[in-house]
Structure 1
Amino acid sequence: MSHKNETAVLVTSLFLTAIFIAAVAWWVTKPQDKTAVVQNPNGSLVDTTAENPLNSISFGEKILVPEEVRGGSPAFKTLKQAGVNDIAAGKYNEAVSQLSAALRENRNAPETLIYLNNTRINLNQQKSYTIAVAVPIGSDPNGSLEVLRGVALAQNEINQAGGINGVLLKVAIANDNNQEEQAKKIASALVDNKDVLGVVGHWASQVTLAVAPIYDSKLVAISPISTAVSLSGKSPYIFRTVPSDYMAARALADYMLTKLQRRKVAVFFNSKSTYSQSLKSEFVTAVGLAGGQVKNEYDLSDSAFSAARSVEQAIEQGAEVLMLASNTGELDKALQVVQVNRKRLSMLAGDDVYAIKTLEIGADAALGMVVAVPWDIDGDPTSAFPRQARELFGSDVNWRTALAYDAVKALIAAIQRNPTRTGVQQALASPDFATKGASGTIGFLPSGDRNGTIQLVKIVADKRSPTTYDFVPVPR
């Protein structure tokens, strides 16, 4: 070997040795992937890794709803982030100041209002009762904000009135992403936190069905959104402030047969959605029992689905009405049906079609569509709730906000009777339980279903609306 080659080998050897030593030093000194632990209010230790559901639960120490921040001014964003940072650092006096200023910049910010109310309790070291709200922030941030407005309004209202028998209300926000596995983790974490006396949630019916066994015999959950009939009687710890699909389907079928005087209908639904399947099945049953005919059923989730082909086929088969039992995930395809139909056949729809998107995209083609919802802001002119919501948030609210408000009002009334988990369940299940909410008296059937009614609304032209279209109540 030449001297030149020997030198090259030596240099290479020294280089590799240096790399090895550096690698060993990095491994010894690097932060290890150990499970970080924190102590829950109940004293149990839990991990805070990315997979831990506690990272998706907040009393104010982290921002969970980025949509609220994106919708605010630069000043609002700065103030809210500073307030949340102060909460995480235990600087409650500073946090109250920052979040109060943030709300002056943007009062239509329910997450911020909930965090502010929680922080005031911490600042003054006041006794409090705790509830949680589980929302699909990752999959439906706007829908989550609608629910959070109802929760924030109810919390703000009771705390300003002095609390529940003098004890203030604290709220934890949880993001379950409307996914069953994430929701199960959230539910388990909430059950483990013994301070939590009740949960407002969840969103999709299949998600609420998935978490029902976790809450059963441990913690009450009241859904303001889940409507599937299969939830009825699922667990004595599962309630809902929204009427079931049984009610909505019969209201729509009755309207078709008696008001429209039409008997033949084609139904569009999503076979992968528990809610959509439930509403479709209940509607088909109701139509059949009343002497009507379902000419065809079209699955929006079918990869071969064609709105144009389906509508033309429905017309050829003699359908007089199109019923959209779509869920939010297939709303775009349902709106294709609306556009292709071009008002040739009358249209009916379930509550997931009640959305700004329907007014924006459906536009003139959606005129006259009748939608079944649990509540409408103009449905009860004597209700104080719409005015209270406008004063607090500076905008109108919809049925999701109203039904979330009702869920919190029900929990407040139950906690007032007996502030224990078992006591809350027994109060809600009691035949004499009743309290006033946004949508009238709140009471529950033995099945856990809301003992309430359905409001039908119709899409009309309205120049005052930002979309120039709006939903207005159909006279009962």
Structure 2
Amino acid sequence: MSQKNETPALLLAFLLTVGLLGAGFLWLMPKTGIKLGTQLTNQEALSIDDRISQGERNLVQAEIKADNPAFAQAKQAGIQSMALRRYGEAIPLFESALRSARNAPETLIYLNNARLGINPSYTIAVAVPIGSDLNGSLEILRGVAQAQTELNGAVGSQAVPLKVLITNDDNNPETARQIAKTLVQMPDVLGVVGHYASDVTLAAGSVYNAGGLVSISPISSTVKLSGFGKYIFRTVPSDYVAARALADYAVKHLQLRKAAVFFNSQSAYSQSLKAEFVTAIALSGGQISDEFDLSAPNFSAAQAVDQALKQEAKLLMLAANTGTLDQALQVVQINQRRLSLLGGDDVYAPKTLEVGGQQALGMVLAVPWHIDGNVKASFPGQSRKLWGGDVNWRTATAYDATKALAAAIARNPTRAGIQQALASPDFAATGASEAVRFLPSGDRNVGIQLVKVSPGKRFGSGIDFVPVAW
């Protein structure tokens, strides 16, 4: 019997088997991503093997919609087929799932892998913190999935296609270190897109350096990563670049030289951005009136803003990380637009617009990329067509990291060869808005995008992040 004739029967059999799995999961519209929720899996109890999948495990449990059983059933059936290496059966099941809900990057990656089957391919991994930052993980997976889809579907391409392993490190340094050890021991894995938080990337980076496996982080911006090792790269600008852009904007454009800084002492990223901004302001002739630790048990937004006003600060710099965004937004509300506001890329989130509201108007943030930053780029239109909504900078930098790995693999598909290709002065890969090139330090050779919270309609809240030309 032909595969075409078998498909309906196989699909029905699998659907009856899995029943109503996934009925407890929630889904949000494409523009805002998937709603954060409690994972069914006990993340801390997961083995390392349970945290790695090319299609045989459902790592993104919340990708299944509570109100879309057809998606849940088809995806779960496809995963069962992948576990049995029945790739021909998995393909129509994943395709069916994506027809029900196309904004599902894990499912698209699994579909791409199923289409490869046992055919020749090059394998890369992507490391995301599914259990601790679901939305951030999905943003990265969208970038990897989009790049994989383009690369594998290129008409007339002579390149061997990419297979993608998804790994979940929960943004835990020790878990990331163990995953890195496992990936180093998997000879087929030629490179890694990841990790997420700077602390986690530093922990895993030592393992990758020792094991000779390239890692390209699309997220980690701490200056400690610069020159960390010859196998460590990133597609996001370092905090050095972001801090100096914000300091220059404050001093040269706003004509403000006295700032109070809010940061998280428990975050390598937050500490890095704070330290670089303090230095940049001093070099620009300004000064810091005070520093406030958002993670302190006795932190009070009201007291901090009051103290900043008494010390005659003219602006507030929010070097918050994702974990202290709520405290930073308390500062925004208490400030009541009395002092100008600056912030790093972790403040660039829909929540800032929703919670900050009118009090966030005028705030300027430094981000790696904005969807309206380059009107000539084709990536924004392609991503909207694929996902049914706008994507953010994490998707773009993950896309860039995947394209860079693919370009390096095309030059020399060995671990050492990939490192040499990425480090070569003549290396360039097509990115979301501009070419991806690296400095000898492993940093990306690229500038930063400033955006301002301004009136707008894209998020439906009356305010938006708008690129700043200055």
Q: Which residue, 51, 62, 78 being the options, matches 1:56? A: 51
Measure, in 1, the Cα distance between the counterparts of 2:280 and 2:340: 18
Aligned to 2:355: 361
Aligned to 1:461: 455
Aligned to 2:37: none
Aligned to 1:173: 166
Question: Secondary structure, in 3 states, of the residue corresponding to 2:290?
Answer: strand
Measure, in 2, the Cα distance between the counterparts of 1:221 and 1:465: 33
Question: Secondary structure, in 3 states, of the residue corresponding to 2:435?
Answer: strand
Q: TM-score, normalised by structure 1?
A: 0.88
**CA positional deviation for 1:74:** 1.9
Contact conserved, 1:242 with 1:403, CA < 8 A, in 2? yes
Measure, in 1, the Cα distance between the counterparts of 2:185 and 2:156: 25
CA RMSD of aligned residues (A): 1.3
Counterparts of 1:303-342 in structure 2 under 5 Å? 303-342=297-336
Letter in 2 for 1:139: S
Aligned to 2:147: 154
| Structure 1: unaligned runs, 5 residues or longer | 1-48
Matched, 1:472 2:466: yes
Measure, in 1, the Cα distance between the counterparts of 2:56 and 2:316: 48
Question: Secondary structure, in 3 states, of the residue corresponding to 2:233?
Answer: strand
Measure, in 1, the Cα distance between the counterparts of 2:457 and 2:426: 45
**Distance 1:89-1:410 versus aligned 2 partners, 3 A rule:** same
Q: Which residue, 119, 123, 134 being the options, matches 1:126? A: 119
Q: Which residue, 249, 253, 260 being the options, matches 2:247? A: 253
Contact conserved, 2:265 with 2:295, CA < 8 A, in 1? yes
Contact conserved, 2:127 with 2:194, CA < 8 A, in 1? yes
Identical columns (%): 62
Contact conserved, 1:389 with 1:397, CA < 8 A, in 2? yes
Q: Deviations over 1:194-216 (max 9, x none)?
A: 00000000001111111111101
**CA positional deviation for 1:52:** 3.0
**CA positional deviation for 1:441:** 1.2
**Distance 1:81-1:157 versus aligned 2 partners, 3 A rule:** same
Q: Which residue, 51, 64, 68 being the options, matches 1:73? A: 68
Contact conserved, 1:406 with 1:439, CA < 8 A, in 2? no
Q: Which residue, 76, 93, 101 being the options, matches 1:98? A: 93
Question: Secondary structure, in 3 states, of the residue corresponding to 1:450?
Answer: coil
Measure, in 2, the Cα distance between the counterparts of 1:468 and 1:51: 42
Matched, 1:295 2:295: no
Letter in 1 for 2:69: P
Measure, in 2, the Cα distance between the counterparts of 1:50 and 1:263: 50
Contact conserved, 1:164 with 1:416, CA < 8 A, in 2? no
**CA positional deviation for 1:401:** 0.2
Aligned to 1:206: 199
Measure, in 1, the Cα distance between the counterparts of 2:156 and 2:240: 36
**CA positional deviation for 1:317:** 0.3
**Distance 1:53-1:312 versus aligned 2 partners, 3 A rule:** same
**CA positional deviation for 1:143:** 0.5
Contact conserved, 1:376 with 1:455, CA < 8 A, in 2? yes
**CA positional deviation for 1:464:** 4.6
Counterparts of 1:29-44 in structure 2 under 5 Å? none
Contact conserved, 2:65 with 2:71, CA < 8 A, in 1? no
Letter in 1 for 2:284: A
Aligned to 1:374: 368
**CA positional deviation for 1:221:** 0.2
**Distance 1:290-1:71 versus aligned 2 partners, 3 A rule:** farther
Matched, 1:85 2:41: no
Contact conserved, 2:54 with 2:165, CA < 8 A, in 1? yes
Contact conserved, 2:127 with 2:169, CA < 8 A, in 1? yes
Contact conserved, 2:220 with 2:269, CA < 8 A, in 1? yes
Q: Deviations over 1:444-474 (max 9, x none)?
A: 0100000000000001122453222210100
Matched, 1:285 2:279: yes
Measure, in 2, the Cα distance between the counterparts of 1:72 and 1:371: 36
Aligned to 1:430: 424
Counterparts of 1:438-453 in structure 2 under 5 Å? 438-453=432-447
Q: Which residue, 100, 111, 114 being the options, matches 1:116? A: 111
State how many pairs are aligned: 426
- Work out which of the two has the higher radius of gyration on C-alpha atoms and give 1 or 2: 1
Q: TM-score, normalised by structure 2?
A: 0.89
Matched, 1:232 2:226: yes
**CA positional deviation for 1:436:** 1.6
Aligned to 1:263: 257
Measure, in 1, the Cα distance between the counterparts of 2:74 and 2:146: 21
Q: Which residue, 179, 182, 192 being the options, matches 1:186? A: 179
Contact conserved, 1:147 with 1:404, CA < 8 A, in 2? yes
Measure, in 2, the Cα distance between the counterparts of 1:433 and 1:164: 20
Contact conserved, 1:279 with 1:325, CA < 8 A, in 2? yes
Q: Deviations over 1:120-150 (max 9, x none)?
A: 111xx31000000000100000000000000
Letter in 2 for 1:214: V
